[in-house]
Amino acid sequence: MATKIKQILSSTPQNSLYFSSWLADNGIDRKEQSLYVRSGWLERVAHGVYKLEGSTPTLYAAVDSYNTQLKRSCHIGATSALDLRGYSHFVALGKPMAYLFTSREQRLPSWMTELEWDMTVKSFTTSIFAGEQGLETLDYQGHQLLISGPEIAFMECLHLAPYHFALLDLYYVMEMLTTLRPKLVQKLLEGCSSVKVKRLFLYMAQKAGHQWFKALDLSKIDLGTGKHLFAESGRYISEYLITIPAELADYE
Averaged over 225-239, what is the pLDDT?
93
Distance CA 181, CA 210 (A): 11
Please, are residues 89 and 168 in contact by the beta-carbon 8 Å criterion? no
Do 35 and 79 lie in one domain? The reply is: no
Q: What 3-state DSSP class applies to 125?
A: strand
**pLDDT over 70 at 116, yes or no:** yes
Same domain, 27 and 91: no
Considering the domain architecture, whether residues 119 and 234 belong to the same structural domain is answered as: yes
Is 192 within 8 Å of 145 (Cβ atoms)?
A: no
What is the per-residue pLDDT across 157-204, written as a single tens digit (0 to 9) for each?
A: 999 999 999 999 999 999 999 999 999 999 999 999 999 999 999 999
pLDDT at position 92, please? 59
The pLDDT of 83-98, averaged and rounded, is: 80
pLDDT over threshold 70, residue 41: yes
Higher per-residue pLDDT: 130 or 252: 252
Q: Where in the sequence is the domain holding 47, given as residue range(s)?
A: 2-52
Q: What's the rounded mean pLDDT across residues 69-85?
A: 95
pLDDT at 224: 95
- Specify the length of the chain in residues: 252
104 and 48 in one domain?
no
Q: Which of 51-55, 98-102, 156-160, 241-245 has the lowest mean pLDDT?
A: 51-55
Which pLDDT belongs to residue 91?
61
Question: Do residues 128 and 237 share a domain?
Answer: yes
Tell me, yes or no, whether 136 and 170 share the same domain. Answer: yes
pLDDT category at 104 given cuts 50, 70, 90 is confident
Judgement on whether residues 199 and 125 belong to the same structural domain of the protein: yes
> How many whole angstroms separate alpha carbon 155 and alpha carbon 224?
17
Structural domain count of the chain: 2
- Predicted pLDDT at 198: 98
Average confidence score pLDDT of the chain: 93
Answer whether 0.75 is exceeded by the pTM.
yes
Q: With a cut of 90, say whether residue 132 has pLDDT above it.
A: no
